[in-house]
Amino acid sequence: MKKKRGKNKRLSSGPPAQPKTMKCSNAKRHMTEEPHGHTDAAVKSPFLKKCQEAGLLTELFEHILENMDSVHGRLVDETASESDYEGIETLLFDCGLFKDTLRKFQEVIKSKACEWEERQRQMKQQLEALADLQQSLCSFQENGDLDCSSSTSGSLLPPEDHQ
């Protein structure tokens, strides 16, 4: 019988252990960079795994989502700072995580553009029809064919012309 891999570790039911104190130097921690600006996954992965083991992964993502919601609100309200714009831009374009989202968003943009072009075409047709109608109405008035006192034709004229 094979031994199961990745078996869930059980946390002790006793009081939580104090986190180990780590000495930090004043120098920033150096992380190896990959070609596309991503930090080495070997450095970041353990952090997320430790968050999961500590039961804090959901809380971490809740804070991330709160921050994103806050930035979104400032962008919508047009009160966002330049650093808000730069942060979102970095998140969206310098991170491979959102490639599929951006690809789908590009499809949404194309769809929305087609929708507005169709609306514009329909409005142009309606404007042309209204212009033709207006011209027909003017020619009826010039020829004296339009009886302003009739109920059906009179409703097309402005109220001051009904007298």
Do the domain assignments include residue 28?
no
Whether residues 118 and 141 share a domain: the answer is yes
Taking the C-alpha atoms of residue 34 and residue 95, their distance in angstroms, rounded to an integer, is: 12
In angstroms, the first-to-last Cα distance of the chain is 101
Q: With CA atoms as reference, report the closest residue to 9 among 61, 58, 52, 44.
A: 52
What band does 99 get if pLDDT is binned at 50, 70 and 90?
A: confident
The pLDDT tens digits for 16-57 are 443 333 333 333 333 333 444 455 556 678 999 999 999 999
The pLDDT tens digits for 57-97 are 999 999 999 999 999 999 999 999 999 999 989 988 888 88
Backbone conformation region of residue 5, classed left if phi is above 0, alpha if psi is from -120 to 50, else beta:
beta
Do the domain assignments include residue 46?
yes
Do the domain assignments include residue 155?
no
Do the domain assignments include residue 163?
no
Do the domain assignments include residue 70?
yes
Whether residues 116 and 84 share a domain: the answer is no
What residues make up the domain containing 107?
Answer: 98-147
Do the domain assignments include residue 19?
no
Count: domains in the chain: 2
User: Which letter does DSSP use for residue 67 in this model?
Assistant: H
Do the domain assignments include residue 3?
no
Whether residues 82 and 111 share a domain: the answer is no
- Is 111's pLDDT higher than 90? yes
Whether residues 47 and 87 share a domain: the answer is yes
Q: Which structure tokens are listed for 26?
A: 């004043």
Taking the C-alpha atoms of residue 129 and residue 136, their distance in angstroms, rounded to an integer, is: 10
- Cα dihedral angle (71, 76, 80, 85), rounded to 10 degrees? 70
